[in-house]
Amino acid sequence: MKGKCLFLIVCFLFFKLSFSQNTYDIVFPEKDEGEKCKTCYQIFNQKPEEVEFSIERVGANLFFQVNDIDWFNRLFKNPGDGLAVDIVAKDKYSCKNPSLPIKEIRGHLLEPVYSRDLKKGLDLNSNNIYQVNLGKIPMDLLNQDLEYNILFLSNKNLCRYYVIYDLKSYDWDLLDMGMYLDNLTINPKQIQSSDSQSLAKDESLKFIIPFKKNQVTYSKADIKPIYESLSLTDFNIKSIKIKAYASIEGIVSRNKVLQVKRGNSIVKALQEFQGSAIKTEVSASENWVEFFNDIEGTKYQYLKPLSKYEVREEIAGTISREMEPILKNHRKAVVELEIEKKDKYSTLGLDELLLKFNQEVAKKNIEVAKGIQNSIFERIRRNPKGLSFLDKMKVPKQKEFVDILNKNSAFRYMTDFTYALITYNELQELEKLAPNNAAIKYNLAAVRIKLLYWDAANVQKTDLNTQIYSLKKYGISEGDISRMLANLNIILSEYFLLQGDRTSKQNSVNYVNTNYKKFNSSSNDYLNLAQYFNKYGSPNMAIDLLNPKAKTIDIDEDLLFYYLNLTLINKELTREKSYRTIMLNAINMNKERFCKLFDSVNEGGVTFQLLENAFLRKTYCESCNK
């Protein structure tokens, strides 16, 4: 289920429009393209998933690269089967150009190379990739920002016109199930693209604080109810990240200054609850997202297609006062706290903690020992290589100590999944000592699901299904059980697909799609669900999952940009008015990151050719052309 692409992900667009440039001997079929391109279509439809191809530039030379010689030979069998490159310059997409005339060939077309010369020039490079030279970049284009589209020709007929999109891939996994220690504990994870290392972070909390009009400061008294409701008296705040939002009326610069002041006042109020300094980050923007969401279906919805400047002009004065019942809800701050539990044994070294822990265990002071055990966990968590230290904790394998033994096994597994089989065997032994212990029952099921996912043990699917359902009688919540059943069905989807049982596969997909709302999901869970639906269900299921969250200002930034990654090349979706709201949400969160999506592939963007899309172009030029 995980993996990285050898080349850039490739998609295609095929245009049947007029042109006025040298297209050599290429034929652009119209009504009869289905028949003329039948063989080419079949070869592409039968292309194994692992077959990858791309264009590689070396100096002024452009090479077609492919990792499967058999597929290459099938595609270029006849004398008229060939390749050509359309060299496209970013300058064409300047926002200074009032419009983009859509042509069949977007840039400078190189002369086609046909079957005989393709096979004659094919070489195996040092990376065991087959490549063939398709021509040189003209001198006048050499220093420009370029992209290279591929024309696949069948008997000289253009059958595939490919635009290469660099869509970032993400590793994905099962939904986080966590493990029961003192209670159910889940290690929150940051969303990371597959070219980054996956990181775990301390627990984070997110909440929203509204502001009244013209109110700038928050006091300690204002924050105290929130502070206490989140049990922050038991935690230290490591960092505060605040995104402060102003309603859209008024002067932009004044709105942002006002919101920064509001954000800083929240930081100051929270800082008063603890002595140690809190790392802070405050940003401010206008709340266009909720503005466009909230005017939908009202008499003001005519404002949605207008530019930001036009909206301001339209609502200036009387209308903005009329809209105050809507605008008042847009003044707020999204506050994200990264927290860590306070350690009452922070002054003790690890060896001192071990000595004290073993002493309390010997005295059978179970609760005191569990508190010391948590402090040991915190030290090890900061240095996972210290897991072997757990072996020095002297805990008798007796019923009265099962909670401590369970925590040791579960913590070791959560810190390093390679201990899964060891943990599984340890938990089975603990189950014999305490056959009705809910935490042990849950942890056993969670590890068994992972082992089945990895195909690392002889886990029977039917027995596991029964075991998960039986957790209800031990007091495990319906939401936690539903999460496990969703994971089981995610695993079964691939099993049924490999067996060719598409009906059962679809039943598993439908189960996950129907039941994921029964449990709370993190941003990482939403990412995993979206990628699961995209692979085993349909792209639309993934889009439908994320679409509502993409319109909320407190969505995780990485999840929002994954949604854009999933949808930017969908021409039908991007023309919807609500998609502009989603793009404005991304711009508010990270304008530089959004604008970079429209850079060339070589510069880390998806492709600047997205700007062929008039709807994307309008938002890009309004927000990024500065």
**CA atoms of 389 and 398, how far apart (whole Å):** 21
How far is Cα of residue 584 from the mean position of the Cα atoms in its chain? Answer: 18
* pLDDT for the residue 190: 59
Encode pLDDT of 45-67 as tens digits.
998 878 999 999 999 999 999 99
Contacts of 30 (CB under 8 A, 6+ apart): 16
Q: Does domain 350-563 have CATH number 1.25.40?
A: yes
For 62, phi and psi rounded to 5 degrees? -115, 125
Structural tokens at position 360: 């309390």
Burial of 547 (0-12, 13-18, 19+ CB in 10 A): middle
* pLDDT for the residue 626: 60
Element (H, E) at 138: none
Taking CB atoms within 8 Å and a gap of at least 24, the contacts of 89-98 are 89/141, 89/144, 89/145, 89/146, 90/144, 90/145, 90/146, 90/147, 90/600, 90/608, 91/144, 91/145, 93/608, 93/609, 93/611, 93/612, 93/617, 95/617, 95/620, 95/621, 95/625
Which single residue is written with the structure tokens 């297609």? 305
DSSP, collapsed to helix, strand or coil, labels residue 267 as: helix
* pLDDT for the residue 79: 96
The CA–CA distances, whole Å, from 36 to 12, 40, 83, 439, 583 equal 18, 9, 16, 64, 40
Helices (H), 54-150: 69-75, 115-121
Which single residue is written with the structure tokens 């060339």? 600
**CA atoms of 285 and 623, how far apart (whole Å):** 13
**CATH H-level, domain 196-341: superfamily:** OmpA-like domain (3.30.1330.60)
* pLDDT for the residue 594: 95
Contacts of 337 (CB under 8 A, 6+ apart): 204, 205, 206, 230, 232, 237, 239, 240, 270
pTM reported for the whole predicted model: 0.82
* pLDDT for the residue 21: 64
Structural tokens at position 55: 């264009």
The domains of the chain are located at: 10-164, 196-341, 350-563
| Residues of the chain below pLDDT 70 | 1-21, 101-102, 187-203, 219-222, 225-233, 626
First-residue to last-residue Cα distance in the chain: 41
**CA atoms of 390 and 354, how far apart (whole Å):** 9
